[in-house]
Structure 1
Amino acid sequence: MSKSIVNVLMAEQLISDNVHSKYTRKIFNGSLDGPSQEIILIVTKFKCKEISCNQKIFTERFSFINPCAHLPNNIIEIIKLLGLSTSAEKASRIMCKFGINISHDTIIRTLGKLPEDLIKVDKTFTNIGVDDFAFRKGKNYCTLICDLDKRKVLQILPGRSKNDLLEWLKNHPQIKLVSRDGSITYTSAIEEVLPKAKQVSDKFHLIKNLLDAISNM
């Protein structure tokens, strides 16, 4: 074993009591345990004692919350469970009732970080919904594909181009119905890969088109 590796292993075992600084973190616990709570956590930063260590400053870690997070791990697990069981929109509304304001986009990002083998997808789905969304408003657009019958997320594609959707559809020839927005890009991909699949307008755009037609009368 080389001397450098030995030094690294020894450095991992050192416990530093040399305080560098302290700062506060706000943690929102909502009202899951009674009254709505906002916890102020005092976090300590330490200086590393090992001269050869590249990381000079270390921040205190806690078992109940991840670094930089504003919500405890137990609440994150509830959000994941609700998001997988219902939808991101419904999960957002439910959490709001408990004093925790979290957007459906944030919930989708949280679910997107789950291991692929954790989200069990029923390969027999035949009716899907396709729509685009942005992780940041006006930027970083993706394509969201859902099982319309079970109201579960099937896939989040990294873009919203024709090829993004086209390649995914090729692996699912059993699809019979697609609910989508008015995107010509999505329409073209569906017609090319699944010419026999029925395409319908999603509820949001159907109502929007109806209201536009009424207002122009």
Structure 2
Amino acid sequence: MKDFITALDPNYQLDKYHIKNNVAVFYISSKMSEVKCPYCGTLSSKVHSSYEREIQDLPMQNRKVILLVKTRKMFCSNCKCEKKTFSECHPFVENNGKKTRRLVQNILFTSAQLSSVNAAKILKSNSIEVGKSSICSLLKKMPSIVDKSSVKKVCVDDFALRKRFSYGTVMVDLESHKIINLIPTRNTNEVKEWLSKYPNIEVISRDGAQLYANAAERSHPGIT
């Protein structure tokens, strides 16, 4: 168990753990006595308070893994710093992230090979909880260069940005099964303009929504 945490970051230690309902929960904390202020770079050892961050990590032995990371709130030692206090940053996760970097890499590797729906199903079977919309959000952050003239067969589908309130549209290459692009809307005119940027599309697979049928016909008249 300790090796699992050491592989995450050698400066962190396992304080305790428990397994319940096929979920492994690890309580971990930093071994560093000083924490760097993210605003001015000054090291500080003055603790204001602490709290726990819940972060999902790579599964272990077919069990979902949750890290409860002790996070210190520190006083900044630099009197000229714009912030009097700051929260400890953990190098293995984004500042506001809920998944470790290594888990995100695993999700992206799987999702880049499949549609977001199928990727979510496969990841769930491997004890990784992530939804279709979350996968799309992660993929959108990936740097990607697509030759628009080479895209010929696509699938257009919607995904929830905020369930029951707002939706976006995703385009998947039917030949490579990779996500090409996403936009934060399913408005007919905006989808039409978006599709028009791919001049050599020959096939647009879509659901029964009339808005996608209209956008496809207006951007590429006569295609199947």
Q: TM-score w.r.t. structure 1 length?
A: 0.76
Mark the CA change 1:33 to 1:120 in structure 2 (over 3 Å): closer, same or farther. Answer: farther
Encode CA deviations 1:176-217: one digit per residue, 9 max, x unaligned.
Answer: 11111222222222222311211xxxxxxxxxxxxxxxxxxx
Label 1:96 to 1:185 Cα distance change in 2 as closer, same or farther (>3 A): closer
- Secondary structure of the 1:12 match is coil
Match of 1:80 in 2: 108
Aligned to 1:50: 78
How does 1:197-208 map onto structure 2 within 5 Å? 197-198=223-224
Q: Secondary structure at the match of 2:170?
A: strand
- Note the alpha carbon deviations across 1:112-168, whole angstroms, 9 max, x for none: 1223xx354574221111122221111221111111222111111221112212212
The answer on 1:70 being equivalent to 2:70 is no
SS at match of 2:136: helix
Residue in 1 that maps onto 2:214: 188
Alignment of 1:113-132 (within 5 A): 113-115=141-143, 118=144, 120=146, 123-132=149-158
State yes or no: 1:25 paired with 2:83.
no
What is the one-letter code of the residue matched to 1:158? P
Confirm whether residue 154 of structure 1 aligns to residue 180 of structure 2. yes
2:161 aligns with 135
RMSD of aligned residue pairs (Cα, Å): 2.2
Change (3 A) 1:185 1:38: closer
Deviation at 1:51, TM superposition (A): 2.7
User: Given that residues 176 and 196 in structure 1 are in contact (C-alpha distance below 8 angstroms), is that contact kept between their aligned partners in structure 2?
Assistant: no
Structure of higher CA gyration radius:
1
TM superposition score normalised by structure 2: 0.74
Change (3 A) 1:70 1:168: closer
Query: Cα distance 1:98–1:119, how it changes in 2: closer, same or farther (>3 A)?
Result: farther
Separation (CA, whole Å) in 2 of partners of 1:78 and 1:154: 19
Higher strand share: 2
Alpha-carbon offset, residue 68 of structure 1? 2.9
Give structure 1 regions of 4+ aligned residues with deviation exceeding 6 angstroms.
none
Q: Which structure 2 segments of 5+ residues have no match?
A: 1-38
Identical positions, percent:
28
Number of matched residues? 186
Whole-angstrom distance in 2 between the partners of 1:83 and 1:44? 34
